[in-house]
Structure 1
């Protein structure tokens, strides 16, 4: 996994195998495929952050952030949302070479509170 953290990932399957949400830097094509596969995996893309891959290193760009829907969501809503995330990446791929996807379960997730904080 350390290798995946220090490299640009080009295989979308790694996103799912290594639970890459929120930390994995994906090449544009891999990020688009991961967005499209997220619905089948029961995941909603809640944020896409784009940047420039410096090899090694990721330069995040504040001009390349996309926010999706907040789960819980239906499968249909999720499919549309995740397709929009992939389309955003496709548009930004001309000027941004790496993307970080943040996903949440389609059913929603437990938010941290003072009673369940770790």
Structure 2
């Protein structure tokens, strides 16, 4: 199954099953769950982009782009980073309803 570009995903498991990093539009709830699950799946959140979903399109909010840490990082550092980013999403979700999460393996490898 491929990522549907004009679809808002509300299930965090879709992010991992479809390799949604940097391309998948996630509801705020799903984005929070993704961040909280990343470390247990060996990933660190590199950053998020927030915006709003209008007419089946993502409208980015330029004031809602946040960076995480860059690998390689320890599991503990990844967990702390990912929790921090999830808290940013919680705060921003008062104004934004869609997020793109970019993640990578903690060790920086691509496979």
Q: State TM-score, norm by structure 1.
A: 0.89
Aligned to 2:93: 93
RMSD: 1.1
Compared with structure 1, are the counterparts of its residues 2 and 41 closer, same or farther at alpha carbon in structure 2 (3 Å cutoff)? closer
Contact 1:8 1:26 in 2 (8 A): yes
Deviation at 1:72, TM superposition (A): 0.2
Return the offset for 1:2: 4.5
Higher strand share: 2
Give the Cα separation in 2 of the matches to 1:30 and 1:89. 10
Partner of 2:72: 72
- Which consecutive aligned stretches of 4+ in structure 1 deviate over 6 angstroms post-superposition? none
Count matched residues: 109
Q: Whose radius of gyration is greater, 1 or 2?
A: 1
Normalised TM-score (structure 2) = 0.94
Q: Deviations over 1:14-69 (max 9, x none)?
A: 00000000000000000000000000111110010000111301001110011000
Gaps of 5+ in 2: none
